Amino acid sequence: MSRIFVTGGSGRLGRSVVAGLAAKGHQVISVDRDAVPADQLPAGVVQETADLLAPGEALRLLQETTPDAVIHLAAIAVPFSAPEDVIFATNTRLAYTVISAATELGVGRIVTASSPTVLGYGSPAGWLPAGFPVDERTTPRPWNAYALSKLIAEQTQQMFAAAQGDRIRYAAFRPCYVISPEEWEGAPTQQGHTVAERLADPGLSAPALFNYVDARDVADFLDLLLQKMPSIPNGETFFVGAADALATAPLAELMPKFLPGSDALSAGLTGTSPAFSIAKARQLLGWEPRRSWRTELKSTTTHETSAALVTAGTGSKEPQ
Ligand SMILES: NC(=O)c1ccc[n+]([C@@H]2O[C@H](COP(=O)([O-])OP(=O)(O)OC[C@H]3O[C@@H](n4cnc5c(N)ncnc54)[C@H](O)[C@@H]3O)[C@@H](O)[C@H]2O)c1
């Protein structure tokens, strides 16, 4: 059992992470600017409401709560949802502030949320990887402030790892498009449409290369990561995605329609194969995602989706 300080614990992903870690028996301290209503807070979770960018706040809260692990999720999480300079300054300062405060206090394990967008897909100037599936060795080429801020968050934890050695363990993870339990039930996802709509119109999922992950699988990943951090290389980054693609057709067929020039690169993405490899998390941590849209979408919604698929258009509406 660990004592885990989760920043951004009231957010879309944070709520599932807090609930998942608490259910595994950890003591969780959830820190966010926004509070979760008390009746929705899992039993035993301590909630702290604070602006982590206010001078001294991160250090004060860490000192008071004495965690042995930190999971840093707090950020502006949607590209272009604020002016570019605000996203850049907010996310990079949050990462630096939380990681440096936790390091100063000697917290043993520090995990930071990054994003697959660091790779640079969706660039208006065009983007193609060296090959599919992409993995942690794929060269990041961020093209907006959000993606750049996440790459800097990864590099921030690597900088501290380089300075501290193995005294403190650091890691970063890139969760694919997060789908929370209520979103399987029909609540709007991060981009404003439902999961069923995203499946029915490949143009909605194509900008993120059809990636996704269940928020509870991310919680399981983080639980395992915290357990294994003392015995894996320090400062690693992991993709965290579902085992399949958020698509009803093979990506070998879909990808060339939305990513010009990707025919040969995506030819191996047959069946349900996703565009993002999770082999590293499988091999280093033994993690396996347990949920898929095929198991989680409400059966009624799946029927609607099937019907919608017949008539759906394919235009992209997503800013990411
Ligand atoms: N949702 C996704 O699909 C996705 C994909 C890749 C990466 N991520 C990353 O995962 C993390 C969580 O994403 P999310 O979807 O839950 O986002 P979210 O916007 O739902 O949650 C972020 C939380 O951070 C809090 N926060 C922001 N600034 C703060 C501050 N100064 N002090 C205290 N709290 C602050 C917000 O109040 C919010 O509750 C983010 O770092 C995001 O970049 C999310």
Give the pLDDT confidence of 156-175 residue by residue, as tens digits.
Answer: 999 999 999 999 999 999 99
Cα–Cα dist 299/295, whole Å: 9
Q: What is the pLDDT of residue 299?
A: 52
The protein residue with its alpha carbon nearest to ligand 1, atom 26, reads 74
Per-domain residue ranges of the chain? 3-180+212-243+274-291
Cβ(52) to ligand 1 under 6 A?
A: yes
57-77 average pLDDT score: 98
Best residue for ligand 1 mutational test, from 13, 57, 222 (most atoms within 8 Å of Cβ): 13
Give the pLDDT confidence of 254-272 residue by residue, as tens digits.
Answer: 999 999 999 999 999 999 9
% helix, strand, coil for the chain, step of 5: 45, 15, 45
Cβ(241) to ligand 1 under 6 A?
A: no
Give the pLDDT confidence of 212-260 residue by residue, as tens digits.
Answer: 999 999 999 999 999 999 999 999 999 999 999 999 999 999 999 999 9
Predicted TM-score (pTM) of this structure: 0.94
**Burial category of 316 from C-beta neighbours within 10 Å (exposed 0-12, middle 13-18, buried 19 and up):** middle
Give domain 3-180+212-243+274-291's CATH superfamily. NAD(P)-binding Rossmann-like Domain (3.40.50.720)
Cβ(58) to ligand 1 under 6 A?
A: no
44 pLDDT above the threshold of 80? yes
Q: What is the pLDDT of residue 91?
A: 98
292-315 average pLDDT score: 55
CA dihedral 309, 202, 219, 118 (to 10 degrees): 180
Q: What is the pLDDT of residue 164?
A: 97
Give the pLDDT confidence of 25-35 residue by residue, as tens digits.
Answer: 999 999 999 99
